[in-house]
Amino acid sequence: MRTYLDHAASAPVRPEVAQQVAEDLASGLGGWANPSAQHTAGRRVGALLAQARARLASALGVDAHEVLLTSGGTEADALVVSGRARAVPGGRLVVSPIEHPAVLDSARTAVDQLGAGLSLLEVEDTGRVELDSVNRALAPAGSTGHSPASLVSVMTANNETGVVQDMAALVARVREASGGGRPGEAGYVPVHSDVVAALGKVPVDFHGWGLDAMSLTGHKLGAPVGVGALVARRDLALTPATGGGRQERGLRSGTQDVVAARALALAVELAVAEREEQEARLAALRRRILEGAGALAGVHATLPEGAAHVASTAHLWFEEADVEALLMALDLAGIDASAGSACQAGVTQPSHVLLAMGFQEGPARSTLRCSLGRETSPDDVERLLAALPAALEGARRAWKVTHKEQ
């Protein structure tokens, strides 16, 4: 029996979702018509798509017209970041240095290809954005020489460490630093948040926080891979990178996948409904991992005491340990875990998230992320803790060999 502790990378498809997808595929959803078609079959499928969008919007606490379906969180991030860069030529993107590569790489591409400016916020050792750096980044253009900001993007929960931002406070600081204003008015700076690692883990309040856009995906919540959404205010100016049939408010062309949209809606509904129950259960398992692993010499919790975090992620760093050897040993012992974001798998570089938090390169290379989900049991945690000492011993031998060669 294998122990899966990488839910932050991707979670198993939920049985309820799998059953719905199977039934939808078997029924043909009205004959496989295009939901944009005007004939009877098309209108029938179009109505199912509208229902899925409305269900998803209701679970998220937003309006259905604010929900744009995408292939996942990465596309949603790119759509809003590059969309703002195109909509506001020469504008400046303000992002945190701990963002997912989907945001950071999209911002850098906008700089290289679209002439956008880029400012990085600063991060405290707790993993939270330093709010005073928002003021510095959004200081009047005349006093800094910077171009006006076109977007601020800060993720709600970090995909590696699980750190949770105070989004209400951050948005309030953006409004204060930029002079407030209303959406669409000159000087108004929209705020986007990637909530992929937060949804179903902590309360997400799009309108209450004052967000203008947020990105999410389904496969971290038990939907199949390949479907997500961008929630965006109707008055948020975005310019698409591609043309086509102008589906999804003209921002994301292509025939919509109604089966996937229905799967996403159900997965989000279930995750939101079960959040509090799962949070309490997973918090106890997380504590057990940190306590058990922390009893080993040279093993440390990445986050300082009191740091805000999701209940489902236990993040550790190791002194003088080769993390690749550690992961391989755990894999051979039947434990599936990761060193960080699976989107950077195979890249043996220090975590950009930990570097931004003030870690040195050594510790930032030697980390283990154990991310838990609704399937995770106490027995899974005990199997990890039983396998860790031997795996760590081998990882330290490998580290000594590598550093001796250097």
Residues serving a catalytic function are 343
DSSP class per residue in 189-213 = --EEEE-TTTBTTB---HHHHT-SE
Q: Where are the alpha helices (DSSP H) in 119-257?
A: 131-137, 141-144, 167-178, 206-209
CA distance 140 to 143: 6
Q: Are 71 and 93 in contact (CB under 8 A)?
A: no
In terms of Cα–Cα distance, which of 291, 321, 387, 198 is closest to 301?
291
Extract the tokens encoding 40: 């009877």
Extract the tokens encoding 314: 């236990």
3-state SS assignment for residue 216: strand
Cα→Cα distances 405→21, 157, 343, 398, 402, Å:
53, 39, 30, 11, 5
DSSP assignment letter at 66: G
